[in-house]
Amino acid sequence: MEPTELLRTNRLVPVVVLDDAAHAEPLADALATGGLPVAEVTFRTPAAAEAIARMAAHGGVTVGAGTVTTVDQVDQAVRAGARFVVSPGFSAAVVRRCQEHGIFVLPGASTATEVMTALDAGVDVLKFFPAGTSGGAPAVAALSAPFPQVRFVPTGGIDADSAADYLRLPSVLAVGGSWMVPRKAIAAGEFAHVAELVRASVAAVSR
Ligand SMILES: O=C(O)C(=O)C[C@H](O)[C@H](O)COP(=O)(O)O
């Protein structure tokens, strides 16, 4: 499935911080069991590249790389088998490298100027980040007026309740967040609990 279709279908993007690459497989299983076969593994820990590679090899979920802020991380993500790249902001260098690799890139934007910079670079699916503190769903709706061709994936400060506010907007493909994959629960190996949180989040947004 194409990444855009994957986002549209699943409606949620779990933003994962893995401290130990050995948690990659049980987390992939927990996501699949909970009904959310996608993971954004962030480059916030040294375990990220190995965790992406292990998840990609394990199967059951489509794995992407998050918190990608440098060209070198793009290369690492592609080498590890990531299917998409997410960045908190807009870097022309990061976007260009993704385009050279032919990998789907979801850069961050929270202002009209950043949206226009992204459009100039040929990108029209954007992460609205940090969503909660940048005005929430009303801000996405306001940005969508001059840019009807842009699709947003709001992320940052969202939970199961506020997710629905964003998902009601026609310009919102999916929302991202870490609320259903708490770092502590993963680190503690509580994968049944994670699967339950994932299942509840999927249920909350399909209502
Ligand atoms: O890592 C990135 O690329 C980011 O841009 C930040 C993350 O998407 C948010 O930190 C997730 O937000 P929370 O759900 O509030 O934890």
Nearest-atom number in ligand 1 for the CA of 88 is 5
In what helix (H) or strand (E) does residue 5 lie, and over which residues does it extend? helix 3-10
pLDDT reported for residue 206: 87
For atom 1 of ligand 1, the residue with the nearest CA is 67
Q: β-pairing, 125-128 with 62-66?
A: unpaired
Q: Residue 85 and residue 66: Cα distance in Å, rounded?
A: 6
- Write the single-letter amino acid at 130: P
Would you say 84 and 64 are in contact if contact means Cβ atoms under 8 Å apart?
Answer: yes
Nearest-atom number in ligand 1 for the CA of 43 is 1
Q: Is the CB of 156 under 6 A from ligand 1?
A: yes
For atom 2 of ligand 1, the residue with the nearest CA is 67
Active-site residues, by number, are 40, 127
pLDDT tens-place string over residues 27-53: 999 999 999 999 999 999 999 999 999
Cα–chain center distance at 152: 11
Q: Residue 66 and residue 14: Cα distance in Å, rounded?
A: 10
pLDDT tens-place string over residues 144-184: 999 999 999 999 999 998 999 999 999 999 999 999 999 99
Q: What is the pTM of this model?
A: 0.97
Backbone angles phi, psi at 29, to 5 degrees: -65, -40
Would you say 178 and 16 are in contact if contact means Cβ atoms under 8 Å apart?
Answer: yes
Query: At residue 189, does pLDDT exceed 90?
Result: yes
Q: Residue 57 and residue 45: Cα distance in Å, rounded?
A: 20
pLDDT tens-place string over residues 109-143: 999 999 999 999 999 999 999 999 999 999 999 99
> Which is more confidently placed, 207 or 17?
17
For atom 16 of ligand 1, the residue with the nearest CA is 178
State whether residue 38 is helix, strand or coil: strand
pLDDT tens-place string over residues 66-77: 999 999 999 999
Of 46, 43, 107, nearest in space to 78 by CA: 43
Q: Residue 25 and residue 23: Cα distance in Å, rounded?
A: 6
Q: Is the CB of 177 under 6 A from ligand 1?
A: yes
Query: At residue 1, does pLDDT exceed 90?
Result: no
Would you say 36 and 10 are in contact if contact means Cβ atoms under 8 Å apart?
Answer: yes
Q: How far is the CA of 178 from the centre of ligand 1 (A)?
A: 7
State whether residue 45 is helix, strand or coil: coil
pLDDT reported for residue 87: 98
* Cis, peptide link before residue 88, omega less than 30° from 0: no
Task: Among 87, 133, 155, name the best residue to mutate to test ligand 1's pocket (greatest count of ligand atoms within 8 A of Cβ).
Answer: 155
For atom 5 of ligand 1, the residue with the nearest CA is 88
Query: At residue 207, does pLDDT exceed 80?
Result: no
Domains recognised in the chain with CATH numbers? 3-205 (3.20.20.70)
Task: Among 87, 178, 180, 197, name the best residue to mutate to test ligand 1's pocket (greatest count of ligand atoms within 8 A of Cβ).
Answer: 178
Q: Residue 14 and residue 12: Cα distance in Å, rounded?
A: 6
pLDDT reported for residue 157: 98
pLDDT tens-place string over residues 81-115: 999 999 999 999 999 999 999 999 999 999 999 99
| CB-side neighbour CA atoms (13 Å) of 138 | 2
Angle at which helices 191-205 and 24-34 pack, to 10 degrees?
Answer: 40
Q: How far is the CA of 32 from the centre of ligand 1 (A)?
A: 21
For atom 7 of ligand 1, the residue with the nearest CA is 156
